[in-house]
Amino acid sequence: MEEREGVRWCATQLGSKGKRHMHMTRHVVTLVVLSSLMMPAPIFAQSKLNVVATTEDLASLAREVGGDRINVEGIARGYQDPHFVEAKPSFILKLQKADLLIVVGLELEIGWLPPLILQSRNVKVQVGAEGYLDASQRVKILDIPTSQITRAMGDVHPLGNPHYWMDPENGRIIAREVADKLSQFRPGDRAYFEQRLADFDKRLTEAENRWSADVAPYKGIKVVTYHRSFPNFAERFGLDIVGYVEPRPGIPPSPSHTFELIQEMKRLNIKLVLVEPYFDLKTPEAIGRSTGAQVLVMPPSVGGVKEATDYFALFDYNIKLLVNAIKAAGGK
Ligand SMILES: [Zn+2]
């Protein structure tokens, strides 16, 4: 409640005189430039929109759609746990100059983003402002709790699974939302954004066909993952996730949970443990030794490994990693 009031306070303060003055100054400068160049009035030399995305995945999707009409910066690196990012002053600087902020939502960034937004004092990207885009609004969300879960329980997925970008179909929806938002800010560039979106859509469909064909022979393969980062990925590509190294999302492994997991893996003959790049490998490796399972470091984000340079490369990397591991283990 206090936080919400803070947002309102900030918006009121910044919405006043100072802001109008800035706008006027910009208009004056634009007019001077225009008249000196003797250009016709409608041709405004528009600067690029500054887009900030909380993760490299959203940044990559925004880049696909925005092309050279936007500058995009991500905040959390793909090799960092997006639930627990160390806030840095440089993040506030990024937010200060942002026209649009794209967030994953579902409380993924709740531990670090809200104070940064407030401190940026940028009215454009405050929660609920036009320049604040919550990418979770139209995508398919899994793991929605059936009973009340609070953060006091330590569970970091209280509103459903926030790692939804790991299904390319959700990536497609996010790209659509970004295109709509960019067109809202720059109606004159709508055709450009729509054309880029259509091109992205086409390439994504081709890639999805390729990825699905690659994993098709291994449909239903049972795996264990460290954190619940992959339910959307698993649903799309036919993996069966039967357990987690974490007892609950955000809760570190405990000896009793690890013991039970090992028993279950032995019972079901599970030979793969997928670990996000930012988790300690000690427990997964101990599980691997007890069960004979391979431990794979699998990034759930662009930038999680150096090969995952963009949204397409992330899936290319993960599908190849999985298929090679399954083949090495002798098929199913
Ligand atoms: Zn999570």
CA of 188 to the centre of ligand 1 (A): 38
CATH architecture label of 216-328:
3-Layer(aba) Sandwich (3.40)
CA of 77 to the centre of ligand 1 (A): 15
DSSP 106-129: TTTTTTTHHHHHHHHT-GGGSTTS
Provide the sign of the torsion angle of the four alpha carbons 263, 267, 268, 272, taken in this order: positive
CA–CA separation, 191 and 107 (whole Å): 33
CA of 40 to the centre of ligand 1 (A): 52
Q: How many CB atoms lie within 10 A of CB 153?
A: 12
In angstroms, how far is CA 129 from the centroid of its own chain?
20
Beta-carbon contacts of residue 316 (< 8 Å; ≥ 6 apart): 207, 211, 307
**CATH number among 3.40.30.10, 3.40.50.1980, 3.40.50.300, 3.40.50.1820, domain 2-38+46-207:** 3.40.50.1980
pLDDT of residue 45: 62
CA–CA separation, 256 and 153 (whole Å): 18
pTM: 0.85
CA of 230 to the centre of ligand 1 (A): 9
CA–CA separation, 24 and 313 (whole Å): 44
- Residue 172, CA distances (Å) to 54, 64, 93 in order: 18, 11, 29
Q: What is the pLDDT along the chain (332 residues), one digit of tens a residue?
A: 334 433 333 333 434 444 444 444 455 444 444 444 454 444 556 799 999 999 999 999 999 999 999 999 999 999 999 999 999 999 999 999 999 999 999 999 999 999 999 999 999 999 999 999 999 999 999 999 888 777 667 789 999 999 999 999 999 999 999 999 999 999 999 999 999 999 999 999 999 999 999 999 999 999 999 999 999 999 999 999 999 999 999 999 999 999 999 999 999 999 999 999 999 999 999 999 999 999 999 999 999 999 999 999 999 999 999 999 999 887 65
* φ, ψ for residue 160, nearest 5 deg: 115, 175
pLDDT of residue 147: 82
CA–CA separation, 80 and 213 (whole Å): 30
CA of 320 to the centre of ligand 1 (A): 23
CA–CA separation, 128 and 105 (whole Å): 12
CA of 117 to the centre of ligand 1 (A): 21
User: pLDDT tens digit string along 43-73?
Assistant: 556 799 999 999 999 999 999 999 999 999 9
CA of 157 to the centre of ligand 1 (A): 6
The answer to whether residues 158 and 292 touch, using CB atoms and an 8 Å cutoff, is: no
Q: How many CB atoms lie within 10 A of CB 114?
A: 14
User: pLDDT tens digit string along 274-328?
Assistant: 999 999 999 999 999 999 999 999 999 999 999 999 999 999 999 999 999 999 8
CA–CA separation, 126 and 237 (whole Å): 36
Q: Where are the beta strands (DSSP E) in the chain?
A: 49-53, 70-74, 100-103, 132-134, 221-225, 239-244, 272-275, 294-297
CA of 83 to the centre of ligand 1 (A): 6
The DSSP output letter for 172 is: H
Tell me the average pLDDT of the chain: 89
The DSSP output letter for 249 is: T
- Ranges of each domain in the chain: 2-38+46-207, 216-328
